[in-house]
Amino acid sequence: MIFCQTGVFMSASEQTEKCAKDTIISDFNQSEFARLLGMKITEAHDGYARVIMDCKGKNNPRGVAHGGAVFALADQAFGIAANCGGGAPRVAVSIHIQYLAPATGTLVAIARRVEDNGTFSTFQVMVYEGERIIATFDGVAILLDTPNNNNSK
């Protein structure tokens, strides 16, 4: 057991897994695009992510959040939820978004994995402004072939 900075005892493998997850979250938070749009991951673990973004400065000519900004927020939540479990990386192969209402304030995207067959994972992302649903997003991710996994075609 290792005593970590949070005051919790963890096995070496748990500590390694936590460090890998923290690195993935940091990488997503520090990506150029996430910083450009002001997105911040507030919670994440295998198959789940919560990401926030203020709409200020991301409006369309009608004065509401641009659809591309809403999509980017949902995609960020999808990406972190798909990759926060460690192992080989996953990338999107199919995405569908449905815009339900305009938004002007702080948005929250919550991504959840709904199915995983080992190669493909399906996620649902809900984008909220307060309690109001702004958009729904469905995405499918594929596990990439890497030298360290046996996902051969």
pLDDT tops 70 at residue 112 = yes
Domain boundaries, the chain: 10-143
- Residues 125 and 134 sit within 8 Å (Cβ to Cβ): no
Predicted confidence (pLDDT) per residue in 31-76, tens digit: 899 999 999 999 999 999 999 999 999 999 999 999 999 999 999 9
pTM: 0.82
pLDDT tops 80 at residue 150 = no
Q: Any bridge partners for residue 44, and if so which?
A: 49
Tell me how far CA of residue 71 lies from CA of 28, 32, 97, 107, 144, in angstroms. Answer: 16, 16, 7, 11, 23
Q: Which helix (H) or strand (E) holds 61?
A: none
pLDDT tops 50 at residue 5 = no
> Mean pLDDT across the chain, nearest whole number?
87
Q: Identify the band that residue 7 occupies on the pLDDT scale cut at 50, 70 and 90.
A: low
Q: What is the pLDDT of residue 85?
A: 81
Q: Which CATH architecture has domain 10-143?
A: Roll (3.10)
